[in-house]
Structure 1
């Protein structure tokens, strides 16, 4: 768990600068300069900001505690900083960049395939592969029914979500998906109750989608023993 904490803190320290660069509206290019006009390097730079490193470290430690020393843990630890970055950008500008969602959609099934070749893994790669298009089809249908309620970026992100949840089986897919929509709905109702939104307001769904995946993976890992 100590290694997971250090990994989360180290990678989380890179997220503040990455989030600043990517938090722009869809019709604008990525930021290349700091607020004072100083050119930014093309790679993320470490910062001393505490919240994102602390959050990423806690999330990685939780995954390590639930998964144990199984090979799929490496996949979850590699994906966690990307997930945190996606959530931050979506909260800030309601955007899930293709720069992150599409590589993640390809990398997670491939990495889980490698994990399936190693002894002591606790998942099922064929189910992960089947769940990938299955969950994406659900999200695509919901997007087509209500484009303003569920953006196409969420559909792209659901590919990685399906693979991650499917690794631990179809019940985990159901748990993670239900958690995502239930938490998103509760948050929307809370905003309406506080009069900070109405029924036509849009909220970033990416953080809830990712939160559902995290909950499902943790519960699936614990159930897998």
Structure 2
């Protein structure tokens, strides 16, 4: 008895590519969302400390006295930076702190430094961003931000040295921070108002430590970059007659930018 012929095999179908996970885009936005969530704290630091020397820290709107603080961040500590009572601007200009924070996080994510170094840089930037805006506004760098920036940078790099079983980078970083701070303080003692401020020296303490972790040449490069940027801006202000030779320009913002620029070269 003969068997009936087997039915023909179904035609082969090419495998369809799996759909890209829908959560990929969402995950890419998580760091930005996290940064935007903490920007009210950065704005609060700017608003609270951007006051003339000898003046108490700001606790409310200068125009109507409406209180501002982390317990009620909107709208004064939001991107609009406006008092909810009278609409007066509070602290840094609208959207500037948010853009600066997003730019800092984008630099960290695009360069992919080692995890420990990313944490240290994130800690330092959390203080450097408010300091930048405070120095631009009132030409001062408050101790309540410069000292924690330096202490946290020292401590976190020290933990990195312990876990890496090599203290050489940490010792070099501490020496570089102290050396850069001493340079700034010496100009203040020798040149007075024509030199750098003591606040600049305290900010240089943390900036030099952060750069010194990568070698002796990087703090020098960061300082030269900061001096170049400040010189170009000063020249532009002189040419446009928006400043005089006797005008005092804040150096903190350029030190922050010089430090970030130097870090981007090694990451």
CA drift at 1:136: 1.1
5 Å matches for 1:57-136? 57-118=102-163, 124-136=169-181
Equivalent residue, structure 2, for 1:144:
189
Deviations 1:75-123 (A, max 9, x none): 111221211100000000001001111121211111111123345x9x9
Give the Cα–Cα distance (whole angstroms) in 2 for the partners of residues 207 and 11 of structure 1: 21
> Aligned-residue CA RMSD in angstroms?
2.3
CA drift at 1:168: 0.9
Question: Are the counterparts in 2 of residues 97 and 153 from structure 1 also a CA contact under 8 Å?
Answer: yes
Range 138-147 or range 85-94, more displaced: 138-147
Give the Cα–Cα distance (whole angstroms) in 2 for the partners of residues 135 and 69 of structure 1: 25
Q: Select which of 201, 207, 211 maps to 2:253.
A: 207
Q: Select which of 40, 46, 62 maps to 2:68.
A: 40
Give the TM-score normalised by the residue count of structure 2: 0.75
CA drift at 1:144: 1.8
In the alignment, is residue 179 of structure 1 matched against residue 225 of structure 2? yes
Give the TM-score normalised by the residue count of structure 1: 0.88
Gaps of 5+ in 2: 1-27, 80-94
Gaps of 5+ in 1: none
Question: Are the counterparts in 1 of residues 211 and 218 from structure 2 also a CA contact under 8 Å?
Answer: yes
Give the Cα–Cα distance (whole angstroms) in 2 for the partners of residues 61 and 210 of structure 1: 16
Which of structures 1 and 2 has the larger relative contact order (alpha carbons within 8 angstroms, sep 6+)? 1
Larger-gyration structure (1/2) = 2
Q: Select which of 139, 147, 170 maps to 2:216.
A: 170
Could you list the structure 1 runs, at least 4 aligned residues long, displaced by more than 6 angstroms after superposition: none
Range 72-81 or range 2-11, more displaced: 2-11
